[in-house]
Amino acid sequence: MGISIGDTLKLNIAGNQFIGILMPRFESADENHLVIKLKNGYNIGIELTKIESITKIMQEPNQTVSNMPSSSSSPIPEPPIKRSEGEDKSIPKIALISTGGTIASKVDYRTGGVHAAISASELYASIPELGSYASVDTEVLLNEYSENLKPEHWSLIANKIAEKVKSGRYQGIIISHGTDTMHYTASALSFALQNLPIPVVLVGAQRSSDRPSSDAALNLIGGIVFAIKSNYSGVFVAMHASSSDDVIACHVGTRVRKNHTSRRDAFESIDVAPVALIKGNVVEMQHSEIKLQKRASSSERFVVKPDYDSKVILLKYHPGFDPELINHAIVDAGYKVIILEGTGLGHIGRESFPQIQKAIESGLMVFMTSQCVWGRVRMNVYDTGRDLLNIGVIPLSDMIAETAIVKAMWVLANSKDSESAKKIMQENIANEISSAIPIS
């Protein structure tokens, strides 16, 4: 029909007119649909048989983007796409490492379901405006929904980031990631990558990038803007700050949580403000209680500790909780750490005290967090807390439970004995414990 990817088209469908840019059709997509990106940034899929007429309004100026085959689920290095022939030294350089998830997935128009399938370069290609912010080297490391990621994957991602950091070629690194466990991975990287010279920003999407109302493009652009412009280094998560499509919030990796199943602003910093808001290409640092490290010109002080030991059990307490479950953790399963998600200020029912005591006597470390999500564990206020302290339960202040699980896995693999493990668990390594006295 004489039209190509990137052309601006006018389509007439059942009396309605749609104007938008023709998007690449991915390998696994339905052949009976076109996908066009509307002016408001939304992508829509249109059934070919329903299209009454197509008019080409404008031709894509630089037709270099091809329909790349989808990547398989194993790590496949992929050649970076160059947007222009000569490499422009004045444009900041970013590494984009894709791990999968909705941000790299698309709707199957036959079933309405979403598949993890597109590659980092396709993602880059589908958001042409990225080129005006940075020169982006893309690489597919994994292609997994994040609920399938395990501590081994954290190690893989940490090592890949370390490689990119040490190359000295990048002003920042973007990790595209499924949102389900993005905060767990952000915590894991926060502990593994110490004294990072540049920012590492995880971005995801709550709606797939070839879908109306996708948040993929803005999150990715927000993450890149922060990665380029921020004076600070560390591990961050960049996602929508509200349900409107204009402001991105940048959160510290250890203090962020996915607090909604579907909203675009599902990610929230817990007990602190986000460290920055990104509006267009402006980074507004917030008055946050968080102390950040400055960006550094060399990776001299950069340390990588990418190992995790998953012998950690999370027990969330509730009325009717069976203390026998603690015995299982001690006897059958070889766990080394129990993370309790207690009630309120850090409590569990008295009936479980003997088993907790037994766990500690058996050499397990038992740490307390709160299922309240917000606020600080304070175990010296009530009898229950004081008794648990006496038994040897260790309170983790305002560390969020999800971060505590990850930190325990990291500490187990990175401390010489249980005394030093307990000590490191209570130290602030990566802003997972805030020193602020809570307003009472």
Least distance from C-beta 212 to its own copies, angstroms?
A: 10
**For residue 81, what are its two tokens?**
């796409």
Residues numbered 383 to 402 that lie near its own copies (CB under 8 A) are: 383-384, 386, 402
Least distance from C-beta 171 to its own copies, angstroms?
A: 29
Of 8 and 146, nearer to its own copies (C-beta) is 146
Total site size for its own copies, rule CB under 8 A: 80
> Is residue 286 near its own copies by the rule CB under 8 A?
no
Instruction: Rule CB under 8 A: choose which of 92, 151, 197, 222 binds its own copies.
Output: 151
Catalytic residue among 8, 37, 99, 102: 102
Least distance from C-beta 299 to its own copies, angstroms?
A: 27
> Is residue 156 near its own copies by the rule CB under 8 A?
no
> Is residue 115 near its own copies by the rule CB under 8 A?
yes
Instruction: Rule CB under 8 A: choose which of 109, 145, 191, 236 binds its own copies.
Output: 145
For residue 125, which phi and psi values (nearest 5 degrees)? -70, -30
The alpha carbon of 390 is separated from its chain's Cα centroid by a whole number of angstroms, namely 37
The alpha carbon of 193 is separated from its chain's Cα centroid by a whole number of angstroms, namely 15
Contact 204, 263 (CB under 8 A): no
Q: Is 116 helix (H, G, I), strand (E, B) or coil?
A: strand
Q: What order of strands is seen across the sheet that includes strand 8-13?
A: 43-47, 33-38, 16-22, 8-13, 51-58
Of 82 and 260, nearer to its own copies (C-beta) is 260
To the query of whether residue 50 is one of the catalytic residues in this protein, the response is no
Least distance from C-beta 186 to its own copies, angstroms?
A: 12
Residues numbered 311 to 340 that lie near its own copies (CB under 8 A) are: 312-314, 316-322, 324-325, 328, 332-333
Instruction: List all residues 6 or more positions away from 36 whose beta carbon is below 8 Å from its beta carbon.
Output: 9, 11, 18, 20, 21, 22, 23, 43, 44, 46
Instruction: Rule CB under 8 A: choose which of 82, 150, 291, 301 binds its own copies.
Output: 150
To the query of whether residue 258 is one of the catalytic residues in this protein, the response is yes
Of 125 and 406, nearer to its own copies (C-beta) is 406
Least distance from C-beta 284 to its own copies, angstroms?
A: 26
DSSP secondary structure string for all residues of 405-425 = HHHHHHHHHS-SSHHHHHHHH
Helix (H) or strand (E) holding 185: helix 182-192
48: DSSP letter: G
Q: Is 34 helix (H, G, I), strand (E, B) or coil?
A: strand
CA angle 301, 302, 306 (to 5 degrees): 145
Contact 161, 175 (CB under 8 A): yes
> Is residue 184 near its own copies by the rule CB under 8 A?
yes
Least distance from C-beta 383 to its own copies, angstroms?
A: 6
> Is residue 26 near its own copies by the rule CB under 8 A?
no
Catalytic residue among 99, 179, 181, 384: 179
Instruction: Rule CB under 8 A: choose which of 18, 42, 302, 382 binds its own copies.
Output: 382
- The CA distance from 100 to 121, in Å, is 12
Instruction: Rule CB under 8 A: choose which of 258, 364, 421, 425 binds its own copies.
Output: 258
Of 60 and 307, nearer to its own copies (C-beta) is 307
Closest CA to 406 of 333, 317, 337, 303: 337
Residues numbered 44 to 73 that lie near its own copies (CB under 8 A) are: none
> Is residue 27 near its own copies by the rule CB under 8 A?
no
Instruction: Rule CB under 8 A: choose which of 16, 49, 298, 440 binds its own copies.
Output: 440
103: DSSP letter: G
Least distance from C-beta 148 to its own copies, angstroms?
A: 5
- The CA distance from 56 to 249, in Å, is 37
Catalytic residue among 258, 369, 384, 398: 258
To the query of whether residue 180 is one of the catalytic residues in this protein, the response is yes
Residues numbered 71 to 110 that lie near its own copies (CB under 8 A) are: 102
> Is residue 202 near its own copies by the rule CB under 8 A?
no
CA angle 332, 336, 337 (to 5 degrees): 115
Contact 174, 96 (CB under 8 A): yes
> Is residue 437 near its own copies by the rule CB under 8 A?
no
Tell me which residues are annotated as active site.
102, 179-180, 258
